[in-house]
């Protein structure tokens, strides 16, 4: 039980830092869809289900970051992928910019990250309770024709 508490505590400290510094962040998310199902993760430090992803590290390309995050969080190996959309979020006092990649050809197994509580695939039309609003919007865009339409996360 200590690990989830500590992870939540660190997350709160991170939010405070963002609020005080007005930090700009760059992140990636993966919209992994195959056979009418989407791959989602549930973190140990956040409530709900999300697209796999995270921050881009110094010296890392966006494509390298999404491949790394997919492997760490979901044990996913991505084959071909394409840019799905670029979004902005100003939630929690930060200026966050998220690049979403679409991959329809991948394999996955449970990742190796202690940050991830659960990894699962869900039918596009039957997402689990607690799926984040941003995740639901990206999936709805995909279902509506595969084109990103919103600028905000």
Per residue in 78-134, pLDDT (tens digit) is: 999 999 999 998 876 678 899 999 999 999 987 667 889 999 999 999 999 999 999
Question: Can you tell me the distance from the alpha carbon of 134 to that of 120, in angstroms, rounded to the nearest whole number?
Answer: 18
Residue 149 in domain: no
pTM beyond 0.85: the answer is: no
The proportion of the chain whose per-residue pLDDT surpasses 90, expressed as a percent, equals 67
The pLDDT of residue 31: 98
Q: What are phi and psi of 49, to 5 degrees?
A: -110, 140
The pLDDT of residue 21: 64
Residue 28 in domain: yes
CATH of the domain at 93: 3.90.79.10
Task: Say how many domains are in the chain.
Answer: 1
Helix (H, G, I), strand (E, B) or coil at 144: coil
Residue 152 in domain: no
Q: Which of 141, 147, 115, 125 is nearest to 38 (CA)?
A: 125
The pLDDT of residue 1: 44
């Amino acid at each position: 039980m200590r690990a989830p508490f500590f992870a939540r505590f660190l997350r709160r400290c991170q939010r405070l830092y963002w609020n005080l510094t007005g930090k700009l962040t760059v992140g990636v998310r993966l919209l992994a869809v195959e056979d009418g199902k989407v791959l989602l993760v549930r973190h140990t430090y956040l409530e709900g289900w999300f697209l796999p992803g995270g921050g881009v590290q110094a010296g890392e390309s966006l494509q390298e970051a999404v491949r790394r995050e997919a492997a760490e969080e979901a044990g996913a190996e991505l084959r071909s992928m394409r840019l799905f959309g670029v979004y902005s979020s100003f939630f929690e006092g930060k200026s966050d910019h998220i690049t979403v990649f679409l991959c329809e050809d991948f394999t996955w197994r449970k990742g190796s990250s202690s940050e991830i509580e659960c990894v699962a695939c869900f039918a596009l039309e039957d997402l689990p309770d607690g799926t984040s609003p941003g995740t639901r919007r990206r999936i709805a865009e995909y279902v509506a024709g595969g084109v990103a339409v919103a600028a905000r996360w």
